[in-house]
């Protein structure tokens, strides 16, 4: 072989590679955060916080596979984009339809152009499958990947944890990666009421499932609720405000369903009257079961998972956001506090504010994490010299008691006054009514909060 021909070999190799088309996209790396909606944008500061915590991709939920929405992107993004479409069982045949693949190709082209204007890129398309059981086969996956090949985007499959098996590995082996949706993730993704009970009964995994494919493990940070309607049917809702779920609101607590620290705590309630919770209206006779994210368990479980030699483990797929706005729901602050690992529960801040002839205690949760639901475990208590306490009013709390130790006393003989709150939401502030004193406010405020992991947090604040 002459030297001139040897010099041409690298060039010939490059020409042959180009003729063969673009190389397959490699599996993704780094954590993924799913936004609340196609228009739920993050500020540059929020994006920088995610990037510093190892988040490399933003998934944008675009709805059903047969009619995906168009994503709205900000002017600046620090991570790549992953459009996500939900594929109910009835829509699986679309993947094998050539006309659908052409429409999807055109849509992805539009998404890529929009991402380029936002100075980022579309790195994958995620097909979020649902169904009561893992299918024996998903038709059209190879043709779908081949159709998207010129665009250089990866294809991912979202699956429920109870599908993970050797069979699932064979069914989804044509995908570049899978996302396993397990504990705490709201199911089904389409909201199909016919699947809610089945998914709920099969999604209480205490540890991540391990598929044989390159995979992400989904982590939900929002409280998830199941509503059993008195008129019939079941619905699943994520991230509702829980502050009014207490006895004074005409709600009967049926008690804690699961009380092991290895899973999310769950509580059941029955409506004795109409009640609205962040846009969800419940009527008399409706029942709601609430599951709260056990943050310390989630962090420990997924931290251990990341450290173990799990073949194909790519990272976490985080689901922190709720479908709508409103007070007391999960937002960016929850995600930021969870990823930082600095706190595993609320951060209480107490202010003593003058009010007429008395004082008001203002309790603020300065973190994105919330307390457990409890009738007795969440309270603020003001200790003062005996005889100092006068009258008081309830304010925004659920109830209050004058105490000497744990014994109820008359105000003039009490050593403390305790205000109870059933739930302290992210960044929530709760105020007492005016507390009348016979003397200066010098004393100690104790805040005790129950946490979803079974622990209790107690913090003391001197008052002057």
Is residue 131 located within the same domain as residue 38?
Answer: yes
Is residue 356 located within the same domain as residue 386?
Answer: yes
Residue 176 lies in a domain: yes
Concatenating the DSSP letter of every residue in 156-167 gives: EEEEEGGG-SHH
Q: Pick the closest to residue 177 from 155, 152, 207 (CA basis).
A: 155
Is residue 151 located within the same domain as residue 240?
Answer: no
Model pLDDT, residue 330: 64
Is residue 322 located within the same domain as residue 360?
Answer: no
Model pLDDT, residue 322: 56
CATH of the domain at 393: 2.60.40
- Cβ(444)–Cβ(460) under 8 Å? yes
Residue 371 lies in a domain: yes
Q: Pick the closest to residue 104 from 140, 146, 68 (CA basis).
A: 68
Residue 2 lies in a domain: no
State which of 276, 309, 340 marks the end of a domain: 340
Is residue 235 located within the same domain as residue 262?
Answer: yes
Residue 74 lies in a domain: yes
State the Cα–Cα distance between residues 254 and 287, nearest whole angstrom: 10
Is residue 35 located within the same domain as residue 52?
Answer: yes
Full domain range(s) for residue 443? 348-463
Please report, for residues 97, 220, 247, 328, the alpha-carbon distance to residue 298 in angstroms, rounded to integers and kept in the order given: 40, 9, 30, 21
Strand pairing partners for 58?
A: 33, 81
Is residue 356 located within the same domain as residue 444?
Answer: yes
Is residue 303 located within the same domain as residue 418?
Answer: no
State the Cα–Cα distance between residues 309 and 307, nearest whole angstrom: 7
Residue 10 lies in a domain: no
Is residue 278 located within the same domain as residue 386?
Answer: no
405-431 per-position pLDDT tens digit: 999 999 999 999 999 998 898 888 999
Model pLDDT, residue 260: 59
How many CB atoms are closer than 10 A to CB 26?
Answer: 11
State the Cα–Cα distance between residues 89 and 129, nearest whole angstrom: 7
Residue 1 lies in a domain: no
Helix (H) or strand (E) holding 304: helix 295-307
Q: How many domains does the chain have?
A: 3
Model pLDDT, residue 97: 95
Q: Is 364 exposed, middle or buried (0-12, 13-18, 19+ CB in 10 A)?
A: middle
Is residue 69 located within the same domain as residue 212?
Answer: yes
Q: Pick the closest to residue 332 from 81, 74, 42 (CA basis).
A: 42
Mean pLDDT by groups of 10 residues along the chain of 464 residues = 43 37 58 84 81 88 92 76 95 95 94 88 94 92 90 93 87 92 77 77 55 86 85 82 66 69 78 82 90 80 65 84 50 81 89 93 93 91 95 94 95 96 90 95 96 90 95
State the Cα–Cα distance between residues 195 and 233, nearest whole angstrom: 11
Is residue 250 located within the same domain as residue 336?
Answer: no
- Cβ(414)–Cβ(386) under 8 Å? yes
CATH of the domain at 44: 3.20.20
Residue 81 lies in a domain: yes
Residue 165: partners with Cβ closer than 8 Å, 6 or more residues away: 134
Residue 242 lies in a domain: yes
Is residue 360 located within the same domain as residue 323?
Answer: no
Strand pairing partners for 353?
A: 360
Residue 260 phi, psi (nearest 5): -90, 140
């Amino acid at each position: 072989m002459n030297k001139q021909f040897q010099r041409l070999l690298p060039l010939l190799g490059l020409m042959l590679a180009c003729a063969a088309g673009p190389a397959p996209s490699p599996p993704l790396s780094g954590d993924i955060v799913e936004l609340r909606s196609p228009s739920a944008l993050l500020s540059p500061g929020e994006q920088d916080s995610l990037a510093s915590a190892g988040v490399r991709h933003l998934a944008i939920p675009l709805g059903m596979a047969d009619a995906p929405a168009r994503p709205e992107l900000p002017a600046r993004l620090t991570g790549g984009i992953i459009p996500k479409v939900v594929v109910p069982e009835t829509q699986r045949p679309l993947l094998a339809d050539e006309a659908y693949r052409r429409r999807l190709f055109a849509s992805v082209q539009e998404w890529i152009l929009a991402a380029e204007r936002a100075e980022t890129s579309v790195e994958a398309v995620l097909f979020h499958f649902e169904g009561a059981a893992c299918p024996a086969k998903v038709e059209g996956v190879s043709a779908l990947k081949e159709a998207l090949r010129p665009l250089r985007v990866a294809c991912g499959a979202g699956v429920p944890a109870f599908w993970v098996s050797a069979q699932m590995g064979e069914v989804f082996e044509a995908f570049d990666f899978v996302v396993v949706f397990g504990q705490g993730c709201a199911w089904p993704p389409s909201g199909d009421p016919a699947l809610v009970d089945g998914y709920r009964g099969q999604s209480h995994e205490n540890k991540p499932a391990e598929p044989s494919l390159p995979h992400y493990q989904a982590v939900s940070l929002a409280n998830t609720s199941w509503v059993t309607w008195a008129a019939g049917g079941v619905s699943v809702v994520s991230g509702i405000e829980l502050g009014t779920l207490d006895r004074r609101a005409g709600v009967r607590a049926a008690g804690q369903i699961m009380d092991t620290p290895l899973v999310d705590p769950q509580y059941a309630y029955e409506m004795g009257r109409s009640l609205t919770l962040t846009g969800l209206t419940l009527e008399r006779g409706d029942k709601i079961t609430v599951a709260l994210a056990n943050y310390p368990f989630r962090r420990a479980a997924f931290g251990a998972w990341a450290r173990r030699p799990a073949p194909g483990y790519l990272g976490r797929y985080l689901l922190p956001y709720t479908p709508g706005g409103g007070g007391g729901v999960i937002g960016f602050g929850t995600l930021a506090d969870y990823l930082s690992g600095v706190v595993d529960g609320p951060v209480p801040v107490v202010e003593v504010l003058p009010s007429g002839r008395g004082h008001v205690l203002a309790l603020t949760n300065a973190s994105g994490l919330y307390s457990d639901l409890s009738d007795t475990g969440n309270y603020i208590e003001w200790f003062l010299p005996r005889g100092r306490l006068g009258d008081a009013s309830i304010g925004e709390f659920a109830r209050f008691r004058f105490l000497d130790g744990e014994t109820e006393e008359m105000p003039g003989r009490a050593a403390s006054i305790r205000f109870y709150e059933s739930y302290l939401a992210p960044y929530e502030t709760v105020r007492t009514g005016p507390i009348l004193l016979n003397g200066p406010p010098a004393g100690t405020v104790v805040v005790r909060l129950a946490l979803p992991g079974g622990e209790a947090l107690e913090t003391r604040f001197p008052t002057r």
